[in-house]
Amino acid sequence: MSLTMTSRPSAGVERHDEILSIKQLRTTLGSRPGGVTVVDGVDLSVRRGKTLGIVGESGCGKSMLSLSVMGLVPPPCRLEGRIEFSGRNLLDVSPAEMRRIRGNRIAMIFQEPMTSLNPVLTVGFQIVEAMRAHDRKSSYEVLRRRAIEALVQVRMPAAERRFDEYPHQLSGGMRQRAAIAMALSCKPEVLIADEPTTALDVTVQAEILDLLRDLQQETNMAIVLITHDLGVVAQVADEVAVMYAGRIAEKASCDALFADPQHPYTLGLLGSIPRMDQAATRLLAIDGVVPPVASMPPGCRFHPRCVFSGQECTRQRPELTAVADGHAVACLKAPIEEGQS
Amino acid sequence: MVDYVLRRLLYTIPSLLGIVVVCFFLTRLSGDPTDLFLPIDASEEARDAFRVQYGLDKPLMEQFVAFFYKALQGDFGNSLRFGEPAISLLAERLGATIQLALATLFIAVGVGIPAGIVSAYYRNSLLDVAVRSLAAFGQAVPTFYWGVLCILIFSVWLKWLPTGGSGGLVHLILPATTLASTLVALLARVMRSTMLDVMRQDFVRTARAKGLGEFTVVMRHVARNAFIPVLTVIALQFGVLMGGVIVTETVFSWPGVGRLVIQAIYARDYPVVQAVVFFFALIFVLSNLLADILSAVLDPRVRYK
Amino acid sequence: MRHLRSPVAVTSLIVVGLALLATLAPGLLAPHDPAEQSLLARLAPPSFLGGPEGHFLGTDQLGRDILSRIIYGARATLLISIAAVVISCSIGTTVGLVAGYNGGRTDALVLRLIDMQLAFPVILLVIAVVAVVGSSVLTLIVVLGVSGWPQFARIVRAAVISVREMEYVEAARAIGAPAMRVIFRHIGPNVLSATIVFATYELSRMILIEATLSFLGLGIQPPTPTWGGMISEGQKYISLAWAASVFPGIAIASTILAINMIGDVLRDALDPRLSGEDGR
């Protein structure tokens, strides 16, 4: 079974390398009685120099997961579980301490480069501002030089000139480069990228993904890449977690997931990717939509849309169970054999 | 930028034209202008002489062109009451009005904008409910009534401040507070709602993700962006503010342009009325122009179009 | 209609109802003739503060009953404001419908007109006209009515343009329904709610302007009681008796506040999209 994973070092060997590890995280939005749980018992970890891909449809809680790590879930909210970052639980640190970590040691880039930069401030100002938030001592000149270096590092064309330009003067791809430069300006250990390429066209998308991978090799940072696009994950991720309705459905190394998907939902997602090497008849589409967070079905949350579901699926919540070394799946029917259905 | 300013300047031309048209027809609304400008018992000869002197015997179009030409030079004829040029009466009173307007603007922006910011940031808190209720209340109470209440409380009962007239700073406090009341309420409301709009924007989340402190996020990224549209609202309110100026100056016997126009109306001193109306309308158009240019300066998306 | 049951809405409706009743039948509510003078009981404080019996809110400088004068004073204010809103709403709606429906040159012309009129502060226009023509109920109604149309035209025009291209309007035109009928039958109802909400706010603005004019002595002339006029007269005696100027102001403020609150309720009920104010 572990044959599928030979191309990469197996998980668990380098424990000390785990820079960020999320344990039984539960994020609930809203005040106590009427709150909705958008992240429900998630376990994940990411290692230095590696990329964790989190895949799921919109509304599956993947963005809330990333905001939970950043401590940016809009109040009122409740977070339970542990988010361990370099030995500390981020859910316990003071707001001031969290502010020092945020943007400095854990940085984030967002989906919409169009709207994620302030339109009335120059690109340069916004990068310098990010550095200034964590560096009170350096002179403006030093920060300015470092900001321009960051722009050069993200391969911004005519970096020096862009420093004084406003976001609307840049193209979509250049804006995302500026956002990445801003995120990397403090040399973070973890970069969370929430759909960083979704709003960009295909060629620019590939450029940005290449850039992220190269920057990772230079800096050895860990990347958490959040996307709905399995194609993107296949390109850059080392590990993949598939999320459905606030829970992890399946977790594996990238190769294992694509070679031997176990959860019906993963199968469905893979089915949605047209493949050259497979007959069209094997395409598995998923019917229906993600259930609204306020009215989750009991048992396995995927069962109303699942072609394999049986009686037990409507009652019992499936726990994440290992089916192979480093490959876990939350499905009562797993492992699903080829030819079933 | 230059293009934008020029285009915006062009847009003011029809407005200016409209103002001149209104001012011109004002004195012709009641039919014969000589009824307005001369005493009721004036002789027919005197009326004829007046008509010739002011070109009223000429065709209407010609009269209008002459009026337009003079109006642009600030010449609205002499005050019927004082015999001086209307425009110089206006100029005499201008200082007091500007003093009042600046003090008002200072109070309104200084109180209304922070109130809006705090109200939006702590939305649905008790503080927010208080600000919103006060704002709703402030907009419902007429300016002149504020003035009367202020006089009653601070002059009659507490005897802290004079009931009116002009002099030092103490004379300015009540009129400026009165005039600012509606504006404070309006600014707080508008600032609050634009703040809420901006707070939902992605770049605010980015700012937080950078590790900026809450104060920096709110002031530099939210309030600054929210202030740009509010500026336009302030300019549009200048019209309402002028009505307020007239009222406030009357309530507090403040010797400004507003009081001048009311006295001129009572005295049927039409050249002065015309001059003030023209002047106020001009200020209104120019303040809108200024606000648009200012928001272009503050907003690079407009600046670089 | 659940919006209408909130305490704020109920209170507001009662206040407006009382004001309307005072407008239509002041005699039913008022304890005294508003013109009846009593020189022995001048500038009396309210009866609940030790003033003479029978004058609940006290008397003015001529010994007239303040409560009765406030009740009779509602008439001038409300009649003028309501009539003015009806006029500006009719003009504005018609112009807006025609401009929005026809588009092109008509629309451009209307837009220019709107801009021109908005460049002129309403209060200034009204003061100027009243200064020359003098103030009568009719003058005030006409001037206020004519001054308010551009905002209505703007709202209606925008609404019409947004529905003009929709299929059912196209379909109506395609089957050859006359232009005006298409406008009123199909576009009208869509525009109605926005217009009603705006008309409510406009009514309170007109009340404010009317009160301001009568305070300045440019509105309805004495001896007809007006709220603004009462405050202006009362101000002269404010150091002797505050009741004469304070109570009419409460009448103005509570009427305006009540109408604004009803406007908010209507906005939330009819057109939730407009309630950006609370920024969900």
CB–CB of A104 and B211 under 8 A?
yes
pLDDT category at B196 given cuts 50, 70, 90 is: very high
B4 assigned to some structural domain: no
How does the average pLDDT of chain A come out, rounded? 84
pLDDT at B221: 92
pLDDT at C169: 66
pLDDT in tens, A111-166: 877 788 998 899 999 999 999 999 889 999 999 999 999 999 888 989 999 999 99
For residue C165, the distance in angstroms to the closest alpha carbon of chain B comes to 29
For residue B206, the distance in angstroms to the closest alpha carbon of chain C comes to 21
B67 assigned to some structural domain: no
Of B19, B151, B192, the CB nearest to C120: B19
DSSP A291: P
- Please check whether residue C276 touches B, CB under 8 A: yes
pLDDT at C83: 95
Are the beta carbons of A145 and A157 closer than 8 angstroms?
no
pLDDT at B215: 92
The residue count of chain A comes to 341
- Mean pLDDT for C229-238 is 87
Whether residue C41 is predicted with pLDDT greater than 80 in this model: the reply is: no
pLDDT at A226: 92
Mutate to test the interface with B, among A68, A106, A118 (most CBs of B within 10 A): A118
Cα dihedral value C188, C191, C193, C194, nearest 10 = -150
Dihedral-angle region of residue A131 (phi above 0 means left; psi in -120 to 50 means alpha; beta otherwise): alpha
Whether residue A279 is predicted with pLDDT greater than 50 in this model: the reply is: no
Structurally, chain B folds into a number of domains equal to: 1
Contacts of B192 in chain C (CB under 8 A): 279
Whether residue A308 is predicted with pLDDT greater than 60 in this model: the reply is: yes
φ/ψ (deg, to 5) at A330: -110, 80
Q: Which of A104-113, B210-219, C100-109, C243-252 has the lowest mean pLDDT?
A: C100-109
B294 assigned to some structural domain: yes
CB–CB of A120 and B300 under 8 A?
yes
Per cent of chain B over pLDDT 90 is 20
Whether residue C78 is predicted with pLDDT greater than 90 in this model: the reply is: yes
Number of cross-chain residue pairs from B and C with Cβ atoms under 8 Å apart: 153
> Which of helix, strand or coil describes residue C117?
helix
Element (H, E) at A19: strand A18-29
How does the average pLDDT of chain B come out, rounded? 84
B270 assigned to some structural domain: yes
B39 assigned to some structural domain: no
pLDDT category at C254 given cuts 50, 70, 90 is: very high
How far is residue C170's CA from residue A19's CA, in Å, rounded to a whole number?
A: 62
Q: Residue B37: closest CA among chain C residues belongs to which residue?
A: C132
Of B211, B221, B224, the CB nearest to A133: B211
Name the more confident of B126 and B82: B126
- Give the A window 186-205 contacts with B, CB below 8 Å: 186
pLDDT at A8: 44
| CB-facing half-sphere around the CA of B238: CA atoms within 13 A | 23
pLDDT at B128: 92
User: Nearest-CA neighbor of C135 among C204, C229, C51?
Assistant: C229
Structural domain including B188 reads 86-304
Mutate to test the interface with C, among B7, B124, B145 (most CBs of C within 10 A): B145
Whether residue C36 is predicted with pLDDT greater than 90 in this model: the reply is: no
> Residue B120's domain is classified under what CATH number?
1.10.3720.10
Letter string b/e over residues B160-182, b meaning 16 or more CB atoms within 10 A of that residue's CB: ebbbbebeeeebbbbbbbbbbbb
- Mean pLDDT for C217-243 is 86
How far is residue A63's CA from residue A226's CA, in Å, rounded to a whole number?
A: 7
Question: Among the residues of chain C, which ranges form H helices?
Answer: 7-24, 26-29, 66-102, 104-118, 122-133, 137-147, 149-164, 167-174, 179-182, 188-215, 227-236, 243-270
Neighbouring subunits of B (3+ Cβ pairs under 8 A) = A, C
Contacts of B18 in chain C (CB under 8 A): 116-117, 119-120
pLDDT at A317: 85
CB–CB of A119 and B225 under 8 A?
yes
Contacts of C206 in chain B (CB under 8 A): none
For residue C105, the distance in angstroms to the closest alpha carbon of chain B comes to 17
pLDDT at C84: 94
pLDDT at B110: 94
What is the pTM (predicted TM-score) of this model?
0.81
Contacts of C43 in chain B (CB under 8 A): none
- Mean pLDDT for C144-164 is 83
Name the more confident of B158 and B40: B158
pLDDT at C279: 33
B6 assigned to some structural domain: no
pLDDT at C183: 64
Contacts of C110 in chain B (CB under 8 A): none
For residue C228, the distance in angstroms to the closest alpha carbon of chain B comes to 9
pLDDT at A331: 85
For residue B213, the distance in angstroms to the closest alpha carbon of chain C comes to 24
pLDDT at A30: 82
The residue count of chain B comes to 305
For residue A311, the distance in angstroms to the closest alpha carbon of chain B comes to 43
Whether residue A4 is predicted with pLDDT greater than 50 in this model: the reply is: no
Q: Do chains B and A touch (3 or more CB pairs under 8 A)?
A: yes
Contacts of A102 in chain B (CB under 8 A): 208-211
Q: Which of A160-174, C37-51, C171-185 has the lowest mean pLDDT?
A: C171-185
Contacts of A112 in chain B (CB under 8 A): 202
Which range has the top average pLDDT, A270-274, B250-254, C46-50, C98-102?
B250-254
CB–CB of A120 and B299 under 8 A?
yes
How does the average pLDDT of chain C come out, rounded? 81
ipTM above 0.85, yes or no: no
B72 assigned to some structural domain: no
pLDDT in tens, A68-107: 999 988 888 889 999 999 888 999 999 999 999 999 999 9
Contacts of A162 in chain B (CB under 8 A): none
Contacts of C234 in chain B (CB under 8 A): 148
Element (H, E) at B80: none
pLDDT category at A339 given cuts 50, 70, 90 is: very low
pLDDT category at C273 given cuts 50, 70, 90 is: low
Neighbouring subunits of A (3+ Cβ pairs under 8 A) = B
pLDDT at B65: 85
pLDDT at B305: 53
Mutate to test the interface with A, among B196, B205, B210 (most CBs of A within 10 A): B210
pLDDT category at C184 given cuts 50, 70, 90 is: low
pLDDT in tens, B87-116: 888 899 998 898 898 899 899 999 999 999
DSSP string, C37-72: --GGGTTPPPGGGT--TT-TT-B-TT--BHHHHHHH
The residue count of chain C comes to 280
Q: Residue B158: closest CA among chain C residues belongs to which residue?
A: C239
pLDDT in tens, B206-243: 999 998 988 999 999 999 999 888 888 877 777 777 88
- Mean pLDDT for C83-111 is 87
Contacts of B298 in chain A (CB under 8 A): 120
pLDDT category at C2 given cuts 50, 70, 90 is: low
Whether residue A242 is predicted with pLDDT greater than 80 in this model: the reply is: yes
pLDDT in tens, A5-60: 444 444 444 455 889 999 999 998 887 777 888 898 899 999 999 999 999 887 78
Q: Residue C244: closest CA among chain B residues belongs to which residue?
A: B148
For residue C213, the distance in angstroms to the closest alpha carbon of chain B comes to 9
End-to-end CA distance of chain B: 7
- Please check whether residue A325 touches B, CB under 8 A: no
- Please check whether residue A102 touches B, CB under 8 A: yes
How far is residue C7's CA from residue C9's CA, in Å, rounded to a whole number?
A: 5
pLDDT at A285: 56
Q: Which of A243-247, B115-119, C7-11, C61-65 has the lowest mean pLDDT?
A: C61-65
Contacts of B250 in chain C (CB under 8 A): 215-216
Q: Residue B191: closest CA among chain C residues belongs to which residue?
A: C277
CA distances from A156 to A116, A153, A332, B48 (A): 17, 7, 49, 80
Contacts of B15 in chain C (CB under 8 A): 115-116, 119-120
B40 assigned to some structural domain: no
pLDDT category at C255 given cuts 50, 70, 90 is: very high
Q: Which of A185-189, B23-27, C235-239 has the lowest mean pLDDT?
A: B23-27
